[in-house]
Structure formats: C-alpha cells, structure tokens
C-alpha cells in the first residue's frame, strides 16, 4: 500500500537545494550555449556512486566533466526514507551556459517529465504545463512504497493526486556502484495540463494540418 509520507521524513539527497556552479571550463555548441542534465545516485553514507547522462546540448565532454566534479565532492546529505533512515537517493541535476558563461542549474520549463497528466483544471497558483516535483520511495523492483511533495505551496489534495498517479506504474531502476538495483528515494516530475488547454492546442494542430 502506498504511504503518503510526511515531507519532513521522506527527503531527497541534500544537493537538491541551491546551485552547483561548475569548477571546469565547459565547451559550447556552435551557437555559443550548452546545457547538461545528469542522474546522480547518492549512497546512504552520502557519497556519489553513479553519475550518468540524462540530456546534453553541446559536447559530451561537459557531461563527463560535470560528473567528475560531482563525484569528487566529499559528502552529500543522503536521502531519507519514510521512516527517516538514510537511503540511496537519486537526483537529476542541470547546468546551463549562455554566451560562454554559466547561467545556473535551474530546471528548465521544457524539461521532460516522468509523467504527463491532463486535469479538469490547474491547481490554484500554477500555470498551464507546470512541473510538479515529488519524492518517491521505490523498492529495488521499481514499485513505489511512499511518496511526498518535494516543493513548497502544494495543497494536500494535489499531493495525494500526484502520488497516486506516480505510484500506478513501475519506476525505472537505479543501481549502486556495482550495477545492482537498489531501493531508493528519488525525484519524480509530473507535468499537469488542463483539458481545456489541451483541447485548444489540438484544435490548432488540426487547423494547421488542413492547410
């Protein structure tokens, strides 16, 4: 049974907060920009045990350098499971460069979600197509065991809805330093779009197709 966990107990790895400014010189694409996203697995002891590419705009050498930098950090605050115990944690981290300069580690609005849902209306205070960040406790087989919001200002009814939908299917596995599947706490992104907005977009697409 899915446990809706108190956010104070179920926690993502500590590196989720704040920016991570690169200590290396990134290589730009022909347009003078670059961006990378990596998946970082942090052990219950707080060390980085895996870092893999999730997205890259620009040379792959930026991914290699970013992962090398993240691995050499001394310690991270480990994830916490629904009982408050240290656990393996999975985080997705971004870095962006524009005109040769680093411009931050924010999650872009066009980031691909783990799950896209259509709802009757958007939650109060959120724009169409907003990304909602939750923390999932997942066993080694990929089944969701606990869930909590990982962002401020989310109503409990919305949190319940997102958690139920996220738990309906299996989650992609994560592995430790030896390649073994592990239970973990991981970041999970859900994009919500209202039915009215989706219908409007589909009508525009059909009009373009008829031209």
The pLDDT value given to residue 27: 94
Beta-sheet pairing, 48-57 with 131-138: unpaired
What integer pLDDT is reported at residue 175 of this predicted model? 82
- Look at residue 201 in the predicted model and tell me its pLDDT: 62
Confidence band, pLDDT 50/70/90 cuts, at residue 206: confident
- Mean residue pLDDT of the chain comes to 88
- For the chain, domain boundaries: 3-210
Handedness of CA 197, 203, 205, 207 (dihedral sign): negative
Higher pLDDT, 67 or 176: 67
Q: How far is CA 170 from the centre of its chain?
A: 16
Q: What is the pTM of this model?
A: 0.85
pLDDT band at 1 (very low <50, low <70, confident <90, very high): low
Confidence of residue 45 (pLDDT cuts 50, 70, 90): very high
pLDDT digits (tens, 9 = 90+) for 93-152: 999 999 989 999 999 988 999 999 999 999 999 999 999 999 999 999 999 999 999 988
Span 85-94, average pLDDT? 94
Q: Does residue 16 carry a pLDDT above 50? A: no
Compute φ and ψ for 50, nearest 5 degrees: -155, 140
């Amino acid at each position: 049974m899915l446990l809706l966990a108190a956010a104070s107990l179920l926690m993502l790895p500590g590196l989720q907060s704040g920016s991570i400014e690169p200590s290396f010189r990134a290589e730009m694409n022909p347009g003078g920009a670059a961006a990378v996203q990596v998946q970082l697995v942090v052990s219950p002891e707080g060390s980085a045990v895996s870092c893999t590419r999730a997205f890259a705009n620009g040379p792959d050498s930026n991914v290699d350098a970013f992962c090398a930098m993240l691995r050499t950090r001394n310690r991270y605050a480990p994830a916490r499971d629904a009982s408050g115990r240290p656990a393996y944690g999975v985080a997705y981290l971004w870095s962006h460069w524009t005109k040769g300069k680093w411009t931050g580690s924010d999650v872009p609005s066009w980031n691909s979600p783990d799950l896209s849902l259509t709802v009757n209306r958007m939650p109060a205070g959120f724009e169409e197509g907003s990304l909602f960040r939750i923390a999932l406790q997942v066993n080694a087989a990929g089944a969701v065991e606990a869930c909590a919001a990982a962002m401020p200002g989310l109503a409990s009814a919305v949190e319940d809805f997102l958690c139920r939908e996220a738990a309906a299917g299996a989650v992609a596995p994560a592995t430790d330093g030896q390649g073994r599947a592990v239970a973990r706490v991981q970041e999970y992104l859900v994009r919500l779009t209202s039915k009215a907005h989706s219908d409007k977009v589909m009508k525009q697409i059909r009009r373009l197709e008829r031209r």
